[in-house]
Structure 1
Amino acid sequence: MACRICYSVLVTGSNRGIGFELVRQLVDSPLGPVKIFAGCRDPNGPRAQELQELAQKHQDVITVVQLDIGCPASITEASKLVEAKVQDKGLNLIINNAGVNIPGSLADTGKSTMVDVYTTNVVGPMIVAKDFRPLLCKAAAQFSHQTSMSCKRSAIINVSTLLSSITMCHENFSQAPMYPYRVSKAALNMLTRCLAEDLKNDGILVMALHPGWVQTEMGGSEAPLTAAESVRGMLGVITNLTEKDTGTLLDWKGNSIPW
């Protein structure tokens, strides 16, 4: 008998692009989560209208949560709201999808741009992991009879990119000389490895996932993948993660990407 992907999931940056598509496919799946927490910076703003409409159709499953990945106080408040909803069951899965890409060559990248992108792409996911860790631990404890890791038990998925690979930089830098984005996502990969080591004794799986080059506001119209195709692949990978995958960087097809 097939099992649910997980009981509960938090998706950050869920008002558009890959984040919105993650929520849409999760709620449409008969084996999707019972509770979906859709985090976005401005739930009442015009950019969240489509998300709010989806949530209205699935009020028993989707809770829209104000969560600004660049604001630690917002993350803390979001963790309290989620805790009130899940209580002793905890939170099974976090998909750290929220991110920003401000393209910049060496010549036109300054301190403020680097710091702003780093704050969103690295510090934000770190604070999310820190503040939601107790809820992830509660979820993992529900499966104390088994030692294996999975997203059904407790996991953090950090959305990374092929452009974060230091090994492959020489192959693709000329096509995308994005200093802030590349450097911050490489740092996110190290955060992923650190969290994987730190949380493994709690039974929490942590890995990084490259969604591919996707037709979104960030990816542009020339990208070869639709959001639906990317997310379908991502969810297939996430569903089948096991303990051997903790601390790894995989793409949306499940292929390993070198650090």
Structure 2
Amino acid sequence: MAAGRARSVLLTGSNRGIGLELVRQLLGVPTPPTCIFATCRDPDGPRAKGLRDLASRHPNLVLVKLDVADPSAVTAAVKVVERKLNGLGLNLLINNAGIYTPTASLDTVGAEDMLRIYQTNTVGPMLMSQAFLPLLKKAAQESTEKGLSCSKAAIINISSVLGSITKTPETFFKPVISYRCSKAALNMLTKCQSLTYRDAGILCVALHPGWVKTDMGSQEADLPVDTSVQGLLSVLPTLSEKHCGALLNWEGKAIPW
């Protein structure tokens, strides 16, 4: 698995749901990353207990306080990661943090809700990618691998099929306007990143984890979180330059924009 071969991985939104399961499964691979940076808003709070339990058993897991919507917090997190990496680059950035308003219909969604969702789901991944770009470039330069891969240097944006304009008619039974628009914007960000960072040796891909049984996805969802994450981590090693800028699902199948 490419993520397992990566020397260093950083994940946002790691204290619950898909993020926490990504951390758990990355720690469980035969050769786990030397450094896994798991970020969340309050690593000392009650909602991060599962993450702290993992950190107590795995010295390669580093907890980092981070709100992706706060530029100063992003800057502070970069300094923490830089110190820990001690001159080496960051191989894999997984922008997983996201928020969701389940009742935001076209009639009820307001400006405040739309901006709040955008700030975390779209602006956050942009800020993270900008801030960690020097470390990703360093990892790409350090690598002897040809082409693009997740074990060399990559930005993976956790997106959603709900951001697909083509798929909207068949998924509109859940309007969630602010979330949809933020993920459509994240898909565009991913495409722009792929065109901008490709020459620096950085792979950029958007992945849809499926409709997952989590606090955000709801218990009505049809996909257990461990199955989704197994799929995502199985897709990562298959990604190459031909996938740069693509939107794929947790089984590696392309989703139309």
Report the TM-score, using the length of structure 2 for normalisation.
0.97
Query: Matches of residues 166-205 of structure 1 in structure 2 within 5 Å?
Result: 166-173=165-172, 175-205=173-203
Answer yes or no: is 1:111 the counterpart of 2:111.
yes
Correspondence for 1:37: 37
Residue deviations 1:140-198 (CA, integer Å, cap 9, x gap): 0012x44400010000000000111001111111x111100000000000000111111
**One-letter amino acid of the structure 2 residue matched with residue 70 of structure 1:** A
Correspondence for 1:209: 207
**One-letter amino acid of the structure 2 residue matched with residue 220 of structure 1:** S
Q: Give the paired residue count.
A: 255
Q: Residues 69 and 253 of structure 1: is their aligned pair in 2 closer, same or farther, counting only changes over 3 Å?
A: same
- CA distance in 2: counterparts of 1:87 and 1:127, whole angstroms: 22
- CA distance in 2: counterparts of 1:5 and 1:214, whole angstroms: 26
**Structure 2 unaligned blocks of 5 or more:** none
Residue deviations 1:174-224 (CA, integer Å, cap 9, x gap): x11110000000000000011111101110000100000100000111111
SS of 1:88's equivalent?
Answer: coil
Answer yes or no: is 1:162 the counterpart of 2:193.
no
Judge conservation of contact 2:145–2:152 (CA < 8 Å) in 1: no
Kindly state the Cα deviation for residue 40 of structure 1 after the two structures are TM-superposed: 0.4
SS of 1:207's equivalent?
Answer: strand
Correspondence for 2:222: 224
Kindly state the Cα deviation for residue 234 of structure 1 after the two structures are TM-superposed: 0.1
**One-letter amino acid of the structure 1 residue matched with residue 21 of structure 2:** E
Answer yes or no: is 1:102 the counterpart of 2:97.
no
Q: Residues 176 and 36 of structure 1: is their aligned pair in 2 closer, same or farther, counting only changes over 3 Å?
A: same
Answer yes or no: is 1:91 the counterpart of 2:109.
no
Ranges of 4+ aligned residues in structure 1 off by more than 4 Å: none
Q: Percent identity, please.
A: 51
Correspondence for 1:23: 23
- CA distance in 2: counterparts of 1:5 and 1:206, whole angstroms: 18
Correspondence for 2:69: 70
Judge conservation of contact 1:3–1:31 (CA < 8 Å) in 2: no
Judge conservation of contact 1:147–1:203 (CA < 8 Å) in 2: no
Correspondence for 1:234: 232
CA RMSD in angstroms, aligned pairs only: 1.2
- CA distance in 1: counterparts of 2:69 and 2:81, whole angstroms: 18
**One-letter amino acid of the structure 2 residue matched with residue 121 of structure 1:** N
SS of 1:32's equivalent?
Answer: coil
Kindly state the Cα deviation for residue 39 of structure 1 after the two structures are TM-superposed: 0.5
